[in-house]
Structure 1
């Protein structure tokens, strides 16, 4: 794994405007994908689901509704700014019923079915002394 940071500027994103007016900026990486979205007021996504990928959505401004099919009917849940939505492999769509646009970030990845929670929680190393040593030169 490379030690350097990587910054992708917004102008490097693959940008599209969908039929429903949603602006999407895709940042593509070999192991995952991140895209930013701005969904206009009154906009509705098409119903869809994913077979292999999983999406985690973070609402960064406004609020959206996520609709799913459960027990042969549409279930609606509100997702507010700061909330995190994990859609798994549900049939779903996002709706903005509000008078203002909403923004969210989508993280897409292919789950491996391996519990990595302990690695994720504990994979941080204190480098204060190393940095001091590196900066003495």
Structure 2
């Protein structure tokens, strides 16, 4: 039975790219955002880059890595460890792995529209009792 409520994308359905510098990326593309699963091997340094419209939020899921940014003519290095989340905004940045093991992280890419949505996000949850769920399952109203 097909589940029309969920849009599950299996790893093997992603677009896999091994970049020249060594980063391995699985791209999951959606109409309004992207999710990238990345592996940054030991010793790899990504290229410097920036985004003019796209925002990236990076969640470290294994290991650690350094995010380097250029701000006010200075190089700033920030260590991101497992469990940390970093928003790189529109900075000129790159990622670097100085550790012995690979680092893994998820990148969420989206186009912000400048609207405050925190209250809407916070309140956008409807809970159901077991009785309500049973009604849904029995197709009765």
Q: Scaled by the length of structure 2, what TM-score is found?
A: 0.92
CA distance in 2, matches of 1:136, 1:48: 53
In 1: Cα distance, 2:106 partner to 2:71 partner: 25
What is the rounded CA distance, in whole Å, between the counterparts of 2:26 and 2:123 in structure 1?
31
Cα distance in 2 between the residues matched to 1:135 and 1:53: 41
Gaps of 5+ in 2: none
Aligned to 1:44: 45
What secondary structure is seen at the aligned counterpart in 2 of 1:115?
Answer: coil
CA RMSD of aligned residues (A): 1.1
How far apart are 1:72 and its partner, in Å? 1.2
Deviation at 1:136, TM superposition (A): 3.6
TM-score, normalised by the number of residues in structure 1 = 0.95
Equivalent runs, 1:49-88 vs 2, <5 Å: 49-88=50-89
Deviations 1:6-62 (A, max 9, x none): 100111101000011111000000000001000000100000000000000000000
- CA-CA distance at 1:134 after TM superposition: 1.9
Quote the Cα distance in structure 1 between the aligned partners of 2:138 and 2:58. 43
Q: 2 CA distance for matches of 1:135 and 1:114?
A: 37
Show structure 1 runs of 4+ deviating over 4 A: none
Q: Number of aligned pairs?
A: 135
State the Cα deviation string for residues 69-97 of structure 1 (Å, max 9, x = none).
Answer: 12212110100000000000000000001
Structure 1 residue 130: Cα displacement: 2.5
